[in-house]
Homo-oligomer: A and B are copies of this chain.
Amino acid sequence: MIKVGIIGVNGYGGGELLRLLAAHPEAEVTVVASRSQAGRTIAQVFPSFRGTRWGHLVVSDQSSPEFDECDLVFLALPHGVSAACAPTFLAKGIKVIDLGADFRLKEAAVYAEWYNQQHPHPELLQEAVYGLPELNREEIKKARLIGNPGCYPTSILLALAPLLPTDLRADGVIIVDSKSGISGAGRTTKDELHFPEADQDFRAYGLVKHRHLPEIEQEASKLAGKEVLVSFTPHLIPVSRGIFSTLNLAAGRATSTQELTELYQAFYKKEPFVTVLTGNDLPQTKAVLYTNRVQLAVRYDSRTNRIIILSVLDNLVKGAAGQAIQNMNLLFGLKETTGLDAPGLWP
């Protein structure tokens, strides 16, 4: 059994780690921490754990000595805070998966520009591995520090990966229109996310410099072998969960929906969590909620010579905690789908 600790268990990412690890046969959560909730039980922090055996788990502070016994610590903390506490665990030989933004970017200068603060430990940026298993599996297996990708970047990079190295894509800005459930904004109350304010509303936010952009462009450029520019507009759907990304880009040559679909199918043939839809099927968020799965569909619009890619995932699972566990499985030599193979929910 892998002994696992979670820091920042009170947020939605932390809670989702706990939920998914409860179903994991090879990992055991031995300690959880949260500054604000220390001393309370998990059942008090998450009503969905009432009556379960994990409900009795008491939230510690992150200085708890129990963390020293862990094989792995998940950090579900605000940016800046993760980076500050990761080295302590690494120094003790404990592996670290950061669900936050601190170990995704390779350049300290880029981090400083987009997060408005100096990175506390820039010396770790090159070592940290970007934890997107479908694109980076072998590096992840050997890592001790993983920067778990952002939810939007995961939905976008998996949608782009098959296309970027090919001549099917022309140069030019890639247009990405993403829509997220409101849990993506975190658990802290905000005036505009008070239920009656957000209910029945659809809105955009974060234009035109959302913090996920440098991460998207860094990884997309690596895949393309040249600089990729993305124009990214995120929106909020009045639901708790789910991300839908719609990508639109210039085709490099005339192609067809069938050729594109076959390219995507071939690319993801062996991937357990990525489904390329065929025929008239189109992705819908409901089909992947609470799972680690991604659904993709590709279309060629011959009228405009553009390619449209649709991508859905659950922002808290494949976009956060599920992907983190997928990374854990790789880190510890387990089958990649361990604890993550449940079907979705309907309705």
A335 CB-CB contact with B under 8 Å: no
The answer, among B229, B244, B287, for a CB contact under 8 Å with A235, is B244
A283 CB-CB contact with B under 8 Å: yes
Q: Which residues of chain B are near A289, meaning CB under 8 Å? A: 48, 200
A119-127, A142-150, A298-306: which lies at the interface: A298-306
C-alpha spacing A257/B288, complex, angstroms: 37
Q: Which residues of chain B are near A231, meaning CB under 8 Å? A: 248, 301, 304, 306, 308
A81 CB-CB contact with B under 8 Å: no
- From A284, which residue of chain B is reached at the shortest CB distance? B203
A270 CB-CB contact with B under 8 Å: no
The answer, among B53, B230, B273, B344, for a CB contact under 8 Å with A304, is B230
Tell me how many chains of this kind the complex includes.
Answer: 4
C-alpha spacing A305/B196, complex, angstroms: 36
A208 CB-CB contact with B under 8 Å: yes
Q: Which residues of chain B are near A235, meaning CB under 8 Å? A: 179, 244, 246
The answer, among B240, B281, B288, for a CB contact under 8 Å with A347, is B240
The answer, among B198, B246, B282, B305, for a CB contact under 8 Å with A177, is B246
Scan residues 163-186 of chain A and give those whose CB is less than 8 A from a CB of chain B.
173, 175, 177, 179, 181-183
A293 CB-CB contact with B under 8 Å: yes
Return A191 CB to nearest CB of chain B, in Å. Answer: 6
C-alpha spacing A291/B46, complex, angstroms: 14
A218 CB-CB contact with B under 8 Å: no
A15-23, A88-96, A97-105, A128-136: which lies at the interface: A15-23
A310 CB-CB contact with B under 8 Å: yes
Return A259 CB to nearest CB of chain B, in Å. Answer: 15
A345 CB-CB contact with B under 8 Å: yes
A154 CB-CB contact with B under 8 Å: no
C-alpha spacing A287/B52, complex, angstroms: 11
Q: Which residues of chain B are near A287, meaning CB under 8 Å? A: 47-48, 50
Q: Which residues of chain B are near A47, meaning CB under 8 Å? A: 284, 286-287, 344, 346
- Contacts A286-B47, A303-B229; A341 near B248 (Cβ below 8 A): no
Are the CB atoms of B201 and A286 closer together than 8 Å? yes
Are the CB atoms of B233 and A52 closer together than 8 Å? no
Return A97 CB to nearest CB of chain B, in Å. Answer: 21
Are the CB atoms of B244 and A204 closer together than 8 Å? yes
C-alpha spacing A345/B344, complex, angstroms: 12
- Contacts A48-B344, A233-B248, A295-B50; A202 near B308 (Cβ below 8 A): no
- From A181, which residue of chain B is reached at the shortest CB distance? B196
A267 CB-CB contact with B under 8 Å: no
C-alpha spacing A346/B345, complex, angstroms: 14
Beyond A52-B343, A196-B347, A203-B282, 13 additional pairs, beta carbon < 8 A: A19-B342, A47-B284, A48-B291, A179-B202, A188-B194, A194-B195, A199-B240, A200-B347, A202-B284, A204-B244, A204-B282, A208-B299, A229-B304
